[in-house]
Amino acid sequence: MTDLLQMILQAQGGNAPQNLAQRFGVSDSQATSAISALLPALAAGMQKNMQQPSGLEGLMGTLSDGHHQRYVEDSQAVFQEETIQEGNGILGHLLGSKDVSRQVAKRASAQTGVGEEILKKMLPVVATMLMGSLSKQTQSGQAMAAAGGGGGAQGLMGMLTPLLDQNNDGSVVDDVFRLASGFLKR
C-alpha cells in the first residue's frame, strides 16, 4: 500500500518539504509537520466528495488527465501564483468553504506550533500536492495494482486509508466521523 504522506514528502525530487519551507519561511521540520497535520483533513474532504453522486467518477476523471502531476514533479510549482489559485479551487471542492479551511489551519497550528496564518497560505499548495500525488499514482497504474487488479477507486481508497485511519483500528468510519464532528463544532 502506498503511503500518500511519503509520496508528498518525496515529491519534487525529495525536496517538497524544503521547497515549502523556503516558500513560507519555516524550517524543513515545520513544513513536514504542516504537511502531516493538513493531509488528514484534505483526505477526509476527498472521502466525503467521493461518496457524493458522481463524486468518485469526477475525481477519477480529474486524476487520470495528469494535469496535477506538475505539482509533485516541478520544484518551482510551490513558488507560482497559479499553484495557489489551483489549490484554492481544490480546497473549495474538498472542504467546501473558507471557514472550514480556516478551521483546518487552526487545528493544524495547534498540533504543529506553525502559525495559523502561514498554514492558511500553505494549505492550497499542500492540496495541489495531494492531487498531484494521487494523479501520479493513477497515471502509473499503481492504484489498480494496489486494488489487486480491481477498479481505480479501490486503489485510491487504499492510498487514503492510512491518512484517515488515525487510530489504526482498520476502520476509517470512526476517524472520518470524529474529524467531521470536530469541524462542525467550531
* Per-residue pLDDT tens over the stretch 108-157: 999 999 999 999 999 999 999 998 888 777 766 544 544 455 544 455 55
For residue 96, the model assigns a pLDDT of: 85
Mean pLDDT of 65-91: 86
The number of distinct structural domains making up the chain is 1
How far from chain centre, in Å, is Cα 31?
Answer: 14
For residue 184, the model assigns a pLDDT of: 41
| Confidence (pTM) | 0.75
Per-residue pLDDT band for 182 (boundaries 50, 70, 90) equals very low
Per-residue pLDDT band for 186 (boundaries 50, 70, 90) equals very low
Alpha-carbon dihedral 29, 179, 56, 100, rounded to 10 degrees: -80
For residue 143, the model assigns a pLDDT of: 41
Residue 20 belongs to what domain range? 4-185
For residue 97, the model assigns a pLDDT of: 87
What DSSP letter does each residue of 64-119 carry, written as one string?
HT-GGGHHHH-TTGGG-HHHHHHHHHHHHHHH-SHHHHHHHHHHHHHHH---HHHH
For residue 134, the model assigns a pLDDT of: 82
* pLDDT reading at 181 higher than 50: no
Q: Helix, strand, or coil here: 181?
A: helix
What is the per-residue pLDDT across 35-59, written as a single tens digit (0 to 9) for each? Answer: 999 998 998 888 777 777 776 666 6
What is the per-residue pLDDT across 84-107, written as a single tens digit (0 to 9) for each? Answer: 999 998 898 888 888 999 999 999
Least confident of 29-33, 70-74, 106-110: 70-74
Contact yes or no for 127/164 (Cβ under 8 A): no
Contact yes or no for 90/96 (Cβ under 8 A): no
* pLDDT reading at 64 higher than 80: no
Task: Round to whole Å and give the CA distance between 11 and 54.
Answer: 29
Task: Round to whole Å and give the CA distance between 180 and 178.
Answer: 5
